[in-house]
A and B are shown apart, each in its own frame.
Chain A
Amino acid sequence: MVDDRLIIAGHEFKSRLWVGTGKYKDFAETKKAIEASGADVVTVAVRRVNITDRSKENLLDYLDPKKYTILPNTAGCYNVEDAVRYARLARAAGVSDLIKLEVLGDERTLFPDTAGLIEAAKILIKEGFIVLPYTNDDPIVAQKLVDIGCPAVMPLAAPIGSGLGIRNPYNLKILMEMVKVPIIVDAGVGTASDAALAMELGADAVLMNTAIAGAKDPIAMAEAMKYAVYAGRLAYKAGRIPRKLYATASSPIEGML
C-alpha cells in the first residue's frame, strides 16, 4: 500500500501488524514467524537475566535492532508501583522511551486495572515516556488515557491468549469514532478473520502473540495475519457497502426476455 505508514509520537511504522515474542518453541521459530508476519514492531518483556546458565541464548541476538522497533511491556505487573518500576527498567535497558503499559487487574482474565493504568500512565508521561496503554474497550477510559497524554491506545479484543476475537465490536467501533489517536487492537485475536475485522472496524494496527505462536503452524499463521491485516485495512479505506435488510439486484431488468 502506498504510504499507509502508521505514525505514533514521531515513530513511523510500515506494518500495521505488531507481534509479541512469547510462547514460541525456540528463538529460531520466533525469528521466522516475525519475518513471515512482516511486523516491524515487536513486544518484549523485562525479566532477570539468567546468570546461572550463561550459555542460554538471548532473544535479542535473533532480532535485528535495525529492522525492528523493540516495544518493551510491563507484562506481569498488577500494581502501579511494579508497572512504573518495570517501565523505568525497560527504558534503562533499551533504546527508546516507548513503553507498552500493562497494569493487570486479575490473574484469570488478565483484564487491565484501568484505575491503576491511568495512575501509572500519568507518572510515566511526566517522566517523558511514550506510553501505549493496554486497556479495555471502554471509550471513556480510552479518552482519559488520551487526555493525560497517551499518543495511542491499545484496547483488548478479548482476554489475552483466549483466541476469542473481537468480543464487542460495537464498543470498539464507538471507541474508534470517539477517540482521535491511533488505536491498536491488542489481545484476544484468534485467527485471520479476527485481525481483518479489527482493521475493518477502523483500527490502526493489531497486536497479537498467542494467535501466531500458539497456532499449529506459526509461520503460516504469521503470513496469514500479514494478509489479514492488509486486507482489512484496504477494505476499510475502500469504504464498504451498507448493510441492507432486503436485496438490491445487481443486474438491470431492462433487456430481459
Chain B
Amino acid sequence: MAEMIQIQVNGEQRGCRADATVGDVLRELAIKIERVAVELNLEILDRKDFDHRSLKQGDRMEILSFIGGGAEELRH
C-alpha cells in the first residue's frame, strides 16, 4: 500500500498517496479540469502538466474557478 502524505488543498489539510499527481487529486475531488486554475506552492500550473506533477509532503495546492461576481460587494 502506498505511503500517505499530507498536503494542503484550498487551505485545508488533506491526505493523499505519496505518488499522487495534481491530476489524481482533482479526480478524487471530482473537479473537472476545464475552467479551473491550479496553483502549486504559488506556481500556476499549465493544464497539460496536471498529470505530470507529483505531490510532496507539505505541498500547498489552490484550486480556483470562476464564480458569480461583478465586483466585491459591501454588506448592507
Contacts and interface: CB of A to CB of B under 8 A. Distances in A.
A108 B72 CA distance: 11
Contacts of B47: 92
Given A46-B37, A93-B35, A54 B30 contact: yes
A245 B74 CA distance: 42
B67 interface: yes
A30 B68 contact: yes
Interface stretch (A21-29, A117-125, A136-144, A226-234): A21-29
Contacts of A59: 66-68
B45 interface: yes
Interface in A43-73: 43-49, 51-52, 54, 58-60, 70, 72-73
Contacts of B71: 20, 22, 73, 75, 102, 110, 134, 160-161, 187, 209
Contacts of A75: 69-72
A160 B72 contact: yes
A116 interface: no
A87 to B, nearest CB: 10
Interface string B48-69: 0000000000000011111111
B9 interface: yes
Contacts of A172: none
B70 A49 contact: no
Interface of B: 9-12, 29-31, 35-39, 44-47, 62-74
